[in-house]
Amino acid sequence: MSPDLVGFSTTTSSFLDAVEMAGKLKGHDPTLITVCGGVHVSALGANLLAEFSSFDYLCPGEGEETLSELVSGHDPSAVKGLIWRSGNEIVTNPPRPLIKDIDTLPFPAYEKLRGFPKGYNLPLFSYVQTPGATMITSSGCPYQCSYCDRSVFKKGYRYNSSAYVYEHMSYLQKHFGIKHINIYDDLFTANRKRITELCELLQAKPLGIQFNCAVRMEGTDDDLLRMLKASGCLMVSLGIESADEAMLERHKSGVNLEAVKETVRRIQAAGLRAKGLFMMGLPGETLDSIKKTSDFIISLGLDDQNMTKFTPFPGAPLWSIIEKEGSFENNWRLMNCLNFVFVPKGIESKEKLDQYYNQHVKRFYNDTEWRRKFKSRIWQHRRSLWHILKNLPAMISAKRAFEPLSPGAKSPRKG
């Protein structure tokens, strides 16, 4: 049975793969309708339709209602939020308003994911129980970090109600046996009333689920941390990005390093794990700022960290000036936060930036205190360790990508 329409949702790095797939599908059936949406489309818009003939329509922004109207047979000219071809002309329809009540949206169709949940693995050592799943319970962010693309959800902030989130978690537990959920909201705890209600539900009617989430330092008091812990939270993440004051002022204002230290201390005192989120290679980065950040990370005694390789995205505030800030390889396939496509003026070369990155990662996981903490949790991590054993050749290959520590790169605790 051949489809009438095929839709693609892409990031910047996956967009060209979608182009190739759509082209092959149209080669097989020229009457097939193809639609593409996602963050890359939302940032670049009509120019993509002009350049890539594999797609008939683009769906920027939130696509639920736009796509629903299109597949229902509405005249394309009447579908808000659609970009389409009228003969040789590219037409951009008026934008579609954001969905006011996102509780009206159904849960994702997990049952259509082949092998779910067994074939889907959360990041290693981020869970104790399996199987795991992911959720997003809010849309948008009122903050404006320099590196963050807000093309889809803009600056507003909308969220699912506590009752909806609880039912979503319950659905995953009842239908798929999920025991751990990573919640990938930018601002999960921003609305205190919602989180209080959700924690009360989880404590009154336990689901046997643990979860991870992100918090902001503002409002992360001891009462909130106790609520999260009592409701099944295992680990919370903090977006810190850098330990260089000038870098923070430019790219993520409002982060106070002393407050970060205190927040990490209180997270761990509440019995939660603390994960720090950082970024290397932003405009203005130097060897000195990298060293400051690496030293700071080690000093925090974190349970885990994620160091992202800065990637400039088309919808981010930095995009318009990125080529003035250093050398930039505008290769969409590599723009996935796993490659350095941008090298700031203060860094000698991409090779040096990769070297500094690898040295930091090795330094963190070789730190004596971190290793002691890890060893104390070996039994908790048995499922992650088993996953490593099952995929040992790939893990060995990944490990070889990281350079050994240089002789001078010692942890501050060792002097």
Alpha-carbon gap, residue 359 to 372, rounded angstroms: 20
The domain spans of the chain are 5-92, 102-414
How far apart, in Å, are the Cα atoms of 169 and each of 26, 116, 248? 39, 15, 35
User: Which pLDDT tens digit goes with each residue over 149-181?
Assistant: 878 877 789 999 999 999 999 999 999 999 999
Alpha-carbon gap, residue 55 to 53, rounded angstroms: 5
Whose structure tokens read 């394309």? 76
The set of residues, in sequence order, having a beta carbon less than 8 Å from that of 262 and lying 6+ positions away, is: none
User: Which pLDDT tens digit goes with each residue over 64-92?
Assistant: 999 999 999 999 999 999 999 999 999 99
How confident is residue 47, by pLDDT bands cut at 50, 70 and 90? Answer: very high
Q: Output the DSSP codes for 362-396.
A: HHHHH-HHHHHHHHTTTTTTHHHHHHHHHTHHHHH
How confident is residue 408, by pLDDT bands cut at 50, 70 and 90? Answer: very low
- By CB atoms closer than 10 A (0-12, 13-18, 19+), residue 283 is buried
Q: Is the pLDDT of residue 407 over 60?
A: no
Asked if 60 and 83 count as a contact pair (C-beta separation under 8 A), the reply is yes
How confident is residue 5, by pLDDT bands cut at 50, 70 and 90? Answer: very high
* pTM score, whole prediction: 0.91
Which top CATH class is 5-92?
alpha beta
Alpha-carbon gap, residue 337 to 167, rounded angstroms: 33
CATH of 102-414, one of 3.80.30.20, 3.40.30.10, 1.20.58.760, 3.50.50.60: 3.80.30.20
